[in-house]
Amino acid sequence: MTTQMFGAPIKRREDPRLVTGGGRYLDDLGHDALEAAFVRSPHAHARIVDIDVADAIDVEGVAGIYLHEDLTGPMAEALPLLIPHPTLTHGRTTHALAKDEVNHVGEAIAMVVATNRYVAEDACQRIRVTYEQLPVVVGVEAARDGEHLVHEDVPGNVSAHMLQEVGDVEAALAAAPHTLTLDLDIERSASTPMEGKGVYARWDDERGELRMYSSTQTSTGVRAAVAARLELPLAKVECIAPDVGGGFGVKIMHPWPEEVLVAWSARLLGQPVKWTEDRREHFVSSAHERGQHQRVMVGFDDEGRLLGLDVKFWHDNGAYTPYGIIVPIITSTQLLGPYKPGTYRVEFWSLYTNTVIVTPYRGAGRPQGVFAMERTMDAIADHLGLDRAEVRSRNFILPSEMPYDHGLLFQDGRPLKYDSGDFPATLDKLKKLVGWDDFGEYRAQAEAEGRKVGLGMGCYVEGTGVGPYEGGHIQIETSGRVNVSTGLTSQGQGHETAFAQIVAQELGVRIEDVHVTTGDTRRMPYAVGTFASRAAVMSGNAIALAARNVRAKALRIAADALEVSVDDLDIVDGTISVKGAPHTSMSLGTVSVLSNPLRYAFDEAAKAATQFAGTFDPDKPPVADDDEPGLEGKDFYSPTQATFANGMHAAVVETDPVTADIRILRYCVIHDCGPMINPMIVEGQVHGGVAQGVGGALYERMAYDESGQLLNASFMDFLMPYASEVPHVETDHLETPSPLNPLGIKGAGEAGCIPVSAVIASAIEDAEGFPISRMPISPNDLWELRRRHQAGDLPSLRRARTAHSTSSDPATDPAADPATDPASDPSTQEPSA
């Protein structure tokens, strides 16, 4: 039989091309194109009084200078609010070019198109804009205060206010034996992919057609948005995502102003136009995420079981809300993680500030929610003097309770209903992997050496595979080549490999014969996009269904040709043969020939499909009424709800007693995304996610001053972890299939980064003995917290930090053997499962 492909840890097929320079990214295209540059606002909030372009008009090489007043029809209107919601009562979006007012530093005011980027930038420098500065609103506190308004017609800066409640929370809190209140903060960060945004457009005036290339996560969305703005028939617009150098959420947004403007100017000028984003532009004009202030009130019993949970939080959505309020909705629902909350009430306010817009960034609201819930779990354990893992265990939803309906609406407007998972088994695996029960002796040894170490954990559930749909198309050529198309895009997830594995398995062909295309609206015009850990669930299942359709057709045609029953046939390595009689067979390529009745013989293989080949019944039409030519098939997968992956992380950290430097000594992950298509790819996704999570926990912070200037808008100033700061990640997996889709799979793309801030906060708190309530945390932050703790401004933890058992095992003790001391060489640390 064909080699098992689904579940095989084969190497990524796209990597040789990409790592040897064979990739084609946006800036590799359009070398003959005109290039665009933008005049962007230096102020966070101001009225535009006058724009003087006189000095720029005569710059040699300038092809066009455009302001908002040059835009007409839909191009002059505000850009779309992509995801409306009933509670988003004051949604606001920007214009392609600013009209009358700017609301954050970096907002585009004018576009210059010239022979090259250098000339365009020179012309931009000559454009003089006169501003009347307005009061600036920066940060949640200033927005919530409402003294100054970002948009004068939005009272209190509140774009949306949402409340969901299950049960009588006030009564539950009043009756609870114990209650706690926590105030927590997560600051802003950003996706910062290696490749920024970019777009390249060509207009064919004779055919009235536009072809554009965009470094995007949703080529069909860009296509539709640009067609609407330019008032073009959808059939006359093509959008192709070339190789994309990372997205992580920022490239979900569509259309960006630059996408519609570049396409519009290409048509206007009748020449190809291109724009590629520089790094400062990305920092000040793309998108950020994460910023929230949270207040958690929790009631619980003597065993640490939740009785009532009341959460309020204030979300910074930046200057506009083009992507709606998806991020805070996810926070409010995914906050619950693997736990039964007793009763639950969550209320949030999404607030305008004079800062860059907020759209999903890897994790998309979940890191904030997990931070709130896991800090709460640790606080309960501390209050009762209980083991932190045990408190979590006592609150778990059990496998026997699946599917579990929380009674809330998720971000897709459908019930928050967990489909599968075994949280007790996951916790058991994690404790064994990190050596949870044996940590006491290691702590004692470290303290005897003058070192501070701590152990932390965090649990999460992640909604993945949200709808509405994705499609797959499969075509088998007469050569036996299998062409696979799906509409979602790729930004490094290994789609060419994973989707090929699915098709090879379903069709019974060699993986070498399978060729995958993504993100090209010419090949698959109906699609949604790559985000929300949905690619494998959505397109993977669509492709599997399409492959099953093609397989059924191939077997039917072969059965007719071989004069046997379909049930007597099997497909192995691309050959259909009779079971028990392998010499009675034909290749899928031959079946492809027979599937397409021909008048003309183009080659030797085609002769078998012509009218005189004698392979057809003369009493039947060459193509049946319910059939069509070709060995190909298409199908779509559309789920009733999201699938829910889950996982648990643990970390050992060391905090320097003098410098307050924070080092991660060990990092352990247990992950459940159902059956893994390719464990190697899942492993890579987890590792990459942890790296981004470490950045968000310890380094990355968008530092705005009170005037709305981003002070660290470059990689010289915006800290990111190097390879030396990313720990060796030890992983293990649990596979609980989802009952919701044919492959039983759940998403994996965002899992690695979701709980990291919560885990690191838990470990630092365990090392230091006082609460950690704000992330990211720097050595300077930790030093200041120590000072406050010593001054009595911060309470000490009540739980005994060395209450674990004291048996030592070199496999689980990171200090038991100097040869495996992660402080000296993290790469040599062995997993302890």
The per-residue pLDDT for 800 is 55
List the beta bridge partners of residue 200. 213, 274
Query: What pLDDT score was predicted for residue 554?
Result: 96
User: What is the DSSP code (8-state) at residue 520?
Assistant: B
Q: What is the pLDDT of residue 610?
A: 80
Query: Is 613's pLDDT higher than 80?
Result: no
With tokens 């009562």, the residue in question is 89
Q: What is the mean pLDDT of residues 611-624?
A: 78
**Average pLDDT of span 353-368:** 97
Higher per-residue confidence, 81 vs 827? 81
Average pLDDT for the chain: 93
Q: Is 364 left (phi over 0), alpha (psi -120 to 50) or beta?
A: left
* Backbone phi, psi, residue 462, to 5°: -125, 120
- Among residues 317, 427, 318, 294, the alpha carbon closest in space to that of 369 is found at 294
The pLDDT, as a whole number, for residue 815 is 40
- Look up residue 623 and give its amino acid: V
* Dist CA 71 CA 676 (whole Å): 49
pLDDT score for 264:
98
Helix 219-229, helix 257-269: angle, nearest 10: 60
Q: How confident is the model at residue 608 (pLDDT cuts 50, 70, 90)?
A: confident
> Between 722 and 829, whose confidence is greater?
722
**What is the model's pLDDT at position 176?**
98
State yes or no: pLDDT of 609 exceeds 80: no
pLDDT tens by residue, 144-199: 999 999 999 999 999 999 999 999 999 999 999 999 999 999 999 999 999 999 99
Residue 83: how many other CB atoms lie within 10 Å: 16
Neighbours of 787 (CB within 10 A): 11
The pair of structure tokens assigned to 34 is: 């005109």
53 contacts: CB under 8 Å, gap ≥ 6: 65, 67, 110, 126, 127
pLDDT exceeds 50 at position 459: yes
Tokens coding 821 = 């001391």
Look at residue 19 in the predicted model and tell me its pLDDT: 92
Q: Residue 611 — very low, low, confident or very high, per pLDDT cuts 50/70/90?
A: confident
Percent of the chain with pLDDT strictly greater than 90: 90
pLDDT bracket for residue 602 (50, 70, 90)? confident
Whether 53 shows a pLDDT value over 50: the answer reads yes
Give the pLDDT score at 803: 43
Over the stretch 411-432, which tens digit does the pLDDT of each residue have? 999 999 999 999 999 999 999 9
316-341: per-residue pLDDT in tens? 999 999 999 999 999 999 999 999 99
Region 636-648: mean pLDDT is 97
Mean pLDDT of 622-641: 92
Contacts with 598 (C-beta within 8 Å, 6 or more apart), sequence order? 606, 609, 610, 611
Question: What tokens does 610 get?
Answer: 């012509």
Identify the bridge partners of residue 131 per DSSP, sorted by sequence position: 48
Q: How confident is the model at residue 601 (pLDDT cuts 50, 70, 90)?
A: confident
Nearest to 730 by CA among 638, 827, 803, 613: 827
pLDDT at 556: 95
What three-state secondary structure class fits 424?
Answer: helix
Strands of the sheet containing 569-572, edge to edge, are: 569-572, 575-578, 581-587
* 802 pLDDT higher than 50: no
Question: What pLDDT does residue 1 have?
Answer: 47
Better pLDDT: 803 or 49 = 49
Give residue 697's pLDDT. Answer: 97
The answer to whether residue 615 scores a pLDDT higher than 90 is no
